[in-house]
Amino acid sequence: MSNSIHDMGGMHGFGAIIEETDEPVFHSKWESRVYAMNRALGPLRLWSIDEGRAAQEALPPAVYLSCSYYQRWLLGLETRVIKHKLATEEELSSGKSLQTVSAPSHIFRPEDAQKLTRGSYDRDPHSEPKFKVGDTIRTINTNTNTHTRLPRYARDKVGVVEALRGFHVYPDSVAIGNGEDPQWLYTVVFDGMTIWGPDSEPGVTLSIEAFEPYLEHL
């Protein structure tokens, strides 16, 4: 969902930023277990990371805002566990495994935590990039109701390509089960005035990481 509550850039009314002193890595044990379960299940490739992101973005706005960060991760994880038939709703509510399933032979082992790394989503390019550094572009105007990385504030705006960042799995495609469809990724920079008009603060530039389908030659 692209016009949903997670796309917060530029919204008003959320108030002050609260910085905790001496903040712990996790505030309670359950947060650490939710985080670790996500990390341990990720490499099994039962689903894509973008499907996980999309699951959180699909939460109703009131739920999204009233949940803490790791509560959202928990909801997203429960949804995927049920959807991909790792467990049933009944099993999760009873806390007991009621039927056996064939688990993958290679699961995340304690020793794998020695070399924790994010999955790799870059791919070998099979096309030439359409844009080069310095090109003036316009971002597309889109209101797709599926996952996208093009934030609302940066749609239909004129900017400049600042860097080419490689060829990567296209989240917009993989999140909806349409395959990796890898695309070139660029850093595109905008002037604050272009994005926010006269309400922009002075001397501000803003950049996004834009996949090639988000861009059009001006």
Residues in 137-156 at the binding interface with other proteins, rule: CB under 8 A? 149, 151, 153-154
Among the listed residues 1, 58, 112, 194, the single contact to other proteins using CB under 8 A: 112
Give the tokens for residue 57: 């973005």
Cβ burial of 153 (10 Å; 0-12, 13-18, 19+) is middle
Binding segment toward other proteins, per CB under 8 A, in 124-132, 136-144, 173-181, 189-197 = 189-197
Site string for other proteins, 156-175 (x = CB under 8 A): ---------xx-xx-x----
Among the listed residues 20, 134, 143, 177, the single contact to other proteins using CB under 8 A: 20
Among the listed residues 34, 137, 161, 174, the single contact to other proteins using CB under 8 A: 34
Cα gap 14→32, rounded to integer Å:
26
Among 15, 12, 10, smallest CA distance to 196 is for 10
- Work out the number of other CB atoms within 10 angstroms of the CB of residue 78: 15
Q: Contact at 8 Å (CB) between 76 and 57?
A: no
Cβ burial of 51 (10 Å; 0-12, 13-18, 19+) is buried
Does position 180 interact with other proteins (CB under 8 A)? The reply is no
Binding segment toward other proteins, per CB under 8 A, in 74-82, 129-137, 138-146, 173-181 = 74-82
Among the listed residues 104, 144, 145, 156, the single contact to other proteins using CB under 8 A: 104
Binding segment toward other proteins, per CB under 8 A, in 129-137, 138-146, 173-181, 195-203 = 195-203
